[in-house]
Structure 1
Amino acid sequence: MSRLEKRDSAVATEEKPSSTALQHSDNSITPKASEVSKTSKANHRILFAVTAESGVSFLERQLSYLQEQGYEVFVMSDGAPSSQTLEGATHVKLTIEREISLSKDIVSLWNAIQFIRRIKPDIVNAGTPKAGLLVSIAAWLCRVPVRIYTCHGLRFETLKGWKRTLMVTTERLSAACAHKVIAVSPSLKDVLHRDRICALEKVEVLHNGSCKGVKAEPFILTDERQKQSEALRQSLGIAQDTPVIGFIGRLTKDKGVDILVEAFHLVKKVIPHAVLLLVGEKEQGDPISANTVETIENDDSIIHVGFQRELGVFYAAIDCLVLPSYREGFANVLIEAAVAGKPTIATRATGMMDSVIDGITGLLIEPGDTHELAERMIWLIKHPEECVRLGVNGHIRALRDFDPEDVVEAHAYFYHSLHKQRVSRGKGTAHHNEQASYTNSSREEGFH
């Protein structure tokens, strides 16, 4: 029986969660279906700001959906995104220096202020570190009615000394300029509160986390994709019955690539024919060790294919996905693997523990624990029936909890609700009543 047939058989016999069990996180807020229509024909201007053009991808589908609801949408970034990425929104170029440069940062801040004064947006949502800071300050100085800071992750978690102090300070300033902070995962919300970035009641997790959800079509395991994965294995010199451990993402120290390579060599002592498939590019900003680079280049059982745009076939070709990161905002790659029906191994780190339910959709380890990671990889390889169970549960949860349309609707309703609260507050209306339209519940029911 092929891997696809095993997965389909398990799905067919799995008792799927009932409608009452299809619920969401205790830490999240989700609009009721009857409330979503309230966002229609809002006739407001909303400005999104991200540092680089690549960050505009965080807004996928959100830009077009808001326009459908009557919003006039602007996107500010350094670099010009494609028209497809912009989804009809108006782009504004704001030159932003990636590293600290006081003179250039002041110029960027002034330019942001000038643009905000010109278009007079009703809502500003700024995210990613540099744009999040500069545009949040500009929106505060211009007294924009609704100011939101979206936190996609916290770099200071893996920094020390003055760099950590500086990053903590900038995060606190970004949050202080906003009326609300969106955290892309429940664990990120907890860290924002724990490290005193902002008050807990100021932070919201929309839907079940993630900034845009995960599309199913590019990753779901189909007959055609299964055939493509078999051809891919053959082209890489991997036998169909060889266990393949996959990593997809940037090859950086923060992603745990150093300990992954070290743990894989412990796996090989037990399972000599195992293969590690690395998909992604190395980065100079957070480089892996020279020893790890040398090992990747010289070990025939480690295959590095670099950056790949179409990832569906790579998910199909692996037996499990491993992401031993020390920090994330929300680990979308783990949800993508789950859509493909693949079990995952991740760390109990910020943004990671939200993507995997330990023992139900995957396995969790302590960050930096090489031996525990090796043990979990060996266990999955030796227990293929558990791989199927974890993969099926992950597949169900991914489709249920991270549908892009649900995430986008939650964002749209959040903007509408917050704007209404801010306007009504000036009229003496109690804004807390809006929260009655949000629902909370557990996300672990319905699995085996």
Structure 2
Amino acid sequence: MTTNTDARTRTTVSPAAPDTTPVPGRVIYGVTIGGSAFSLLRGQLAWLRERGWDVRLVSSPDDDAYIAAEREGVRFYQLPMTRSITPIQDAIALRRWLKLIDKLKPAAVNVGTPKAGLLGGVAAWLRRVPRRLYVVRGLRIEGTRGPLSWLLWLTEWATMRVATDVLFVSPSLALEAQRRGLLDARKSWAIGSGSSNGVLAHQVAARAGEVNRVELRERLGLGADDFVVGFVGRITYDKGVDQIIDAFSRLTDPRIRLLCIGEPENPELAAQIDVLGDRVSVVGWTNDLWGHLSAMDVLCLPTLREGFPNVVLEASSVGMPTITTCATGAIDSVVDGETGLLFDVGDTETLLRHIHTLAADDELRERMGAAARQRVLTEFQPERIWSGVEEILQGVDEPQIAHRITGK
């Protein structure tokens, strides 16, 4: 009888396991749409890249995403995501996130905006990326009720739980998260007075200074001597646009005009704006917001909720005071009576008084504007905020800039 020695001595060789070792210094920044990368990450990615980080940007593909990646000098990966709840598309996007993380092997991820925060965060958790930072720029749950409110709470809770670190962009936002049972003090962070990116105050002021105020106003249908109240943002009920429309419908001084920069997202609001006639000028969204600031005398943001409104910092950079609400996030952007004026959400009477007060007192407006500019120069320097973000991404034991939120 013969013996099959080959069968006894053959050694089985298993396929090589995929290399999942993180690439040192590689970080993925993920946002849902390119507009967020364009406006919320200005300068931050380039700064990290110059400090030796291998930065990769991920978002849905659109013009703003490509522009942001080119501006920051980083590689861009398109990954379609929807802003609304779409289970099938979300499952497809999660699978793409997993494949991308397998390919890039990042040592850290920095995800923000709700959908990218959830999908990118879960994918990074499943692949055990060492540092998983979720930047909370607002809570969509505010203002919702019923089943949607519970669903949004659950997704926010899940996003925070799969992260190793959670950065809140304003003190009031962290308090709201704590009130709703979302804050985990073991992993929660804040940097300075708030904001996720600070403001390039000198660049904003330089661009605004290049624009001829009189010519710009003429082009926008505004008079050289008008008192112009500016609104910047999505033209929706969430931003309180109905409140500012109500206020302007009651104004009797024809010299006070409204300039809205943004896209109407609600047909009813668009119709209400039209009723104001020549009292209001509407400009569609523009990537040259800084160039339009010189047309305004005061910024008005009657918002119902925010994370931290960057537009207030941009207005402050050119020495412009802001009228805004005591809502989450917004309340942190203004020092009431010093850099601007606050009012309660929905209090149109006080909003009207604030508009009249600043329209009638040039000295007060200039004093508040100067204080607002000084505040952004001292408290919202981008490099300081970026350094705090870097400390979190590095897992520094004793950070010098970022500080933990105790939840007390």
Q: TM-score, normalised by structure 2?
A: 0.86
Asked if residue 261 in structure 1 is aligned to residue 245 in structure 2, the reply is yes
Q: Could you tell me whether the CA contact under 8 Å between 1:210 and 1:332 is conserved in 2?
A: yes
1:170 corresponding residue in structure 2: 155
Q: Could you tell me whether the CA contact under 8 Å between 1:344 and 1:363 is conserved in 2?
A: yes
CA distance in 1, matches of 2:287, 2:25: 35
1:219 corresponding residue in structure 2: 204
1:325 corresponding residue in structure 2: 303
Asked if residue 289 in structure 1 is aligned to residue 268 in structure 2, the reply is yes
CA separation of 1:317 and 1:107: change in aligned 2, threshold 3 A:
closer
- CA shift, 1:387, in A, is 0.5
CA distance in 2, matches of 1:70, 1:191: 36
2:54 corresponding residue in structure 1: 72
Q: Could you tell me whether the CA contact under 8 Å between 1:60 and 1:212 is conserved in 2?
A: yes
The match for 1:274 among 230, 233, 256 is 256
Q: The residue matched to 1:389 in structure 2 has which SS?
A: helix
- CA shift, 1:139, in A, is 1.2
Aligned identity (percent) is 36
- CA shift, 1:163, in A, is 1.4
CA separation of 1:237 and 1:122: change in aligned 2, threshold 3 A:
closer
1:126 corresponding residue in structure 2: 111
1:242 corresponding residue in structure 2: 226
Q: 1:308-347 alignment to 2 at 5 Å? A: 308-347=286-325
* Superimposed CA distance per residue, residues 327-366 of structure 1 (whole angstroms, 9 cap, x where no aligned partner): 1111111111111111110000111011101011000000
The match for 1:406 among 378, 384, 397 is 384
CA distance in 1, matches of 2:387, 2:54: 17
Q: 1:8-23 alignment to 2 at 5 Å? A: none
Q: Could you tell me whether the CA contact under 8 Å between 1:296 and 1:304 is conserved in 2?
A: no
1:31 corresponding residue in structure 2: none
Could you say which structure has the greater relative contact order, defined with CA pairs below 8 angstroms and 6 or more residues apart?
1
The match for 2:32 among 51, 72, 82 is 51
Q: Could you tell me whether the CA contact under 8 Å between 2:208 and 2:290 is conserved in 1?
A: no
Higher mean Cα deviation, 95-104 or 150-159? Answer: 95-104
Write the letter of the residue equivalent to 2:327. Answer: A
CA separation of 1:51 and 1:194: change in aligned 2, threshold 3 A:
same
The match for 1:252 among 236, 245, 248 is 236
2:14 corresponding residue in structure 1: none
Higher mean Cα deviation, 316-325 or 46-55? Answer: 46-55
The match for 2:92 among 100, 104, 107 is 107
Alignment: residue pair count: 377
CA distance in 2, matches of 1:299, 1:248: 19
CA separation of 1:316 and 1:173: change in aligned 2, threshold 3 A:
same
Q: Could you tell me whether the CA contact under 8 Å between 2:172 and 2:332 is conserved in 1?
A: yes
Q: Could you tell me whether the CA contact under 8 Å between 1:221 and 1:341 is conserved in 2?
A: no
CA distance in 1, matches of 2:56, 2:208: 41
CA distance in 2, matches of 1:391, 1:133: 38
Name stretches of at least 5 consecutive residues in structure 2 with no aligned partner: 1-22, 404-408
Q: The residue matched to 2:192 in structure 1 has which SS?
A: coil
Q: The residue matched to 2:332 in structure 1 has which SS?
A: coil
Name stretches of at least 5 consecutive residues in structure 1 with no aligned partner: 1-41, 421-430, 441-448
- CA shift, 1:386, in A, is 0.8
Q: TM-score, normalised by structure 1?
A: 0.79
**Aligned structure 1 segments of 4 or more residues deviating by more than 6 angstroms:** none
Asked if residue 206 in structure 1 is aligned to residue 191 in structure 2, the reply is yes
Q: The residue matched to 1:276 in structure 2 has which SS?
A: strand
